[in-house]
Structure 1
Amino acid sequence: MNAPAMPTAETLPLPVGDGPAAAVLRWLCDPRPDIRPSALASLPLGAVLEAAIDAKLVCLLAHRLLGGPADASLSRPMRSVLGQIGRANTLHNRLHRGEAVRIVRALTGRDVPVAVLNGLAYDTALYPPGGLRQFTDIDLLVDAADRDAALDVLAELGFTQPGRGAHTRRRTTGDALTPTVSIDITTGLGHTADPADVRAALARTQAEGDGGEALPVLARADALAHALARLAARPRWSGLADAARLALAAPGSSREAVAAVSEPLRAGWAVLHSHLPDLVPGPPPVAGGGPGRGEVAR
Structure 2
Amino acid sequence: MNATVTPTSAMPQLPAGDGPAAAALQWLCDPRPDIDTSVPAPVPLGTVLAAAIDAKLVCLLADRLLDGLPDVGLSRPMRSVLGQIMRANTLHNRLHHGEAARIVRALAGRGVPVAVLNGLAYDSALYPPGGLRQFTDIDLLVGADDLDTAVETLVELGFTEPGRGTHTRRRSTGDPLTPTVSVDITTGLGHTADPAALRAALARADAEGGVGAGEALPVLIREDALPHTLARLAARPRWTSLADAARLALSAPDPYSGAGVPLPEAARAGWAMLRTHLPEVFTSSSTGTSPSGGPGREEGPR
TM-score by shorter chain over 0.5 = yes
Deviates more, 1:64-73 or 1:21-30: 64-73
Task: Select the residue among 258, 267, 270 that pairs with 1:268.
Answer: 270
Q: Over the residues paired in the alignment, what is the CA RMSD in angstroms?
A: 2.5
Contact 1:259 1:266 survives alignment (8 Å): no
1:228-239 aligned within 5 A: 228-239=230-241
Aligned-residue offset at 1:283: 5.2
1:143 corresponding residue in structure 2: 143
Deviates more, 1:203-212 or 1:190-199: 203-212
Contact 1:24 1:37 survives alignment (8 Å): no
Deviations 1:84-124 (A, max 9, x none): 00000000000000000000000000000000000000000
Contact 1:112 1:146 survives alignment (8 Å): yes
Contact 2:38 2:65 survives alignment (8 Å): no
2:221 corresponding residue in structure 1: 219
Deviates more, 1:193-202 or 1:135-144: 193-202
Q: CA distance change for structure 1 residues 27 and 259 in 2, over 3 Å: closer, same or farther?
A: farther
Deviates more, 1:175-184 or 1:245-254: 245-254
Cα distance between partner residues in 1 of 2:55 and 2:233: 14
Of structures 1 and 2, the one scoring higher in RCO (CA 8 A, sep 6+) is 2
1:163 corresponding residue in structure 2: 163
Aligned-residue offset at 1:264: 1.9
1:1-298 aligned within 5 A: 11-16=13-18, 19-36=19-36, 40-70=40-70, 72-210=72-210, 211-252=213-254, 260-281=262-283, 284=292
Cα distance between partner residues in 1 of 2:99 and 2:259: 36
Deviates more, 1:133-142 or 1:271-280: 271-280
Give SS of 2:53's match: helix
Aligned-residue offset at 1:235: 1.4
Deviates more, 1:270-279 or 1:247-256: 247-256
Letter in 2 for 1:25: L
Cα distance between partner residues in 1 of 2:112 and 2:189: 17
Letter in 1 for 2:21: A
Give SS of 1:40's match: coil
Aligned-residue offset at 1:73: 3.5
Deviates more, 1:40-49 or 1:243-252: 40-49
Contact 2:256 2:263 survives alignment (8 Å): no
Structure 1 residues without counterparts, runs of 5 or longer:
293-298
Give SS of 1:224's match: helix
1:295 corresponding residue in structure 2: none
Cα distance between partner residues in 1 of 2:16 and 2:260: 27
Contact 2:12 2:234 survives alignment (8 Å): no
Deviates more, 1:197-206 or 1:23-32: 23-32
Aligned-residue offset at 1:247: 0.5
* Identity value in percent: 71
Q: CA distance change for structure 1 residues 28 and 267 in 2, over 3 Å: closer, same or farther?
A: same
